[in-house]
Each structure stands twice: as structure tokens, then as C-alpha cells.
């Protein structure tokens, strides 16, 4: 997982090469940090789009926003999803994602039974 916004292809490749030998726990932390950057960029873009005029067709670069002063109370990264259309090399369009919480603490979820109502 890498936040590619504002980075060139050689920069992304260099970062992936640098992280390749990471232990799994180190890479998990690095991936969570990258996921957090992506979420922050998306939120900044969303809120700036509400207050600013829409960008022209040539503008699609996002810069990393300044972090707000103070410490964060987060204990884990937010839940996000990012689906790529690998044939086009761009974000996939028209995919619905539903987040549901498992409510039955006594048994694990089963994806075999489509009629199960434990969600």
C-alpha cells in the first residue's frame, strides 16, 4: 500500500524497493500510515470541493494538507477501500461497497449461507 498522490513513478518504485525487506509488522504499520494519508487527502479534497470552484480539466494534482495542531486520539487507522481497474490503470467506477458489523459474538461469520441474518 502506498499513497501515490504527488509522487512520480520512479519515486513510488524507489519507496517500494526500500520497503520490500520490511518485516510484516513494520510493513503493516507503513501500509496503515499510507492508507491514512490517502484518507486525509480524500477528505481534504472533498471539503475543499464544497467551498471552492471546481478545478479545470487540467488540474487533478492534490497536495498533502497540513495536519491540524494537536495530537490525534486515533488508536488504529480508519477503514477505507480502494479498488483499481487494473486494465485501465485508474480507480474502478460503479462498484458498491457496503460496510456491515458482525453482531453475533458467539460464532464467526459464514459467507456460505447467503440467507444468514447475523450482520
Q: Give yes or no for residue 26 having a pLDDT over 60.
A: yes
Q: Is residue 98 domain-resident?
A: no
Highest mean pLDDT among 38-47, 99-108, 109-118: 38-47
How confident is the model over 1-12, as pLDDT tens digits?
A: 899 888 999 999
State yes or no: pLDDT of 67 exceeds 50: no
Half-sphere exposure in the Cβ direction for 34 (13 Å, CA): 19
Any domain includes 101: no
The answer to whether residue 38 is domain-embedded is yes
Whether 69 is covered by a domain: the verdict is no
**Within-domain flag for 39:** yes
Is residue 68 assigned to a domain?
A: no
Number of structural domains (the chain) is: 1
Q: Give the pLDDT of residue 14.
A: 93
Question: How far is it, in rounded angstroms, from Cα 83 to Cα 103?
Answer: 26
Sequence-distant (≥ 6) Cβ neighbours of residue 80 within 8 angstroms = 35, 38, 39
As a whole-number percent, the residues of the chain with pLDDT over 70 amount to 66
Q: Is the backbone of residue 103 left (phi > 0), alpha (psi -120 to 50) or beta?
A: alpha
What is the pTM (predicted TM-score) of this model? 0.42
Beta-ladder partners of 85? 90
Strand partners, 90: 85
Question: What domain range is 21 assigned to?
Answer: 1-55+77-91
Residue 66 has pLDDT above 50, yes or no: no
Within a domain: 2: yes
Residue 4 lies inside a defined structural domain of this protein = yes
* Phi–psi pair at 104, nearest 5 degrees: -95, 100
More confident residue, 106 or 22: 22
Output the pLDDT for position 29: 92
| Residue 61, pLDDT above cutoff 70 | no
Side-chain half-sphere exposure of 21, counting CA atoms within 13 A: 2
Distance CA 21, CA 53 (A): 44
The confidence score (pLDDT) of residue 82 equals: 77
**What pLDDT score does 22 carry?**
92
Amino acid at each position: 500500500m502506498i499513497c501515490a498522490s504527488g509522487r512520480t513513478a520512479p519515486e513510488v518504485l524507489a519507496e517500494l524497493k526500500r520497503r520490500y525487506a520490511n518485516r510484516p509488522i513494520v510493513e503493516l504499520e507503513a501500509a496503515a500510515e499510507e492508507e491514512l494519508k490517502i484518507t486525509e487527502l480524500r477528505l481534504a479534497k472533498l471539503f475543499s470541493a464544497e467551498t471552492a470552484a471546481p478545478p479545470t480539466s487540467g488540474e487533478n494534482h492534490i497536495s498533502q494538507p497540513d495536519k491540524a495542531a494537536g495530537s490525534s486520539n486515533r488508536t488504529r487507522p480508519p477503514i477505507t477501500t480502494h479498488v483499481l481497474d487494473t486494465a485501465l490503470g485508474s480507480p474502478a467506477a460503479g462498484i458498491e461497497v457496503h460496510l456491515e458489523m458482525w453482531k453475533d459474538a458467539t460464532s464467526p461469520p459464514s459467507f456460505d449461507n447467503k440467507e444468514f441474518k447475523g450482520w
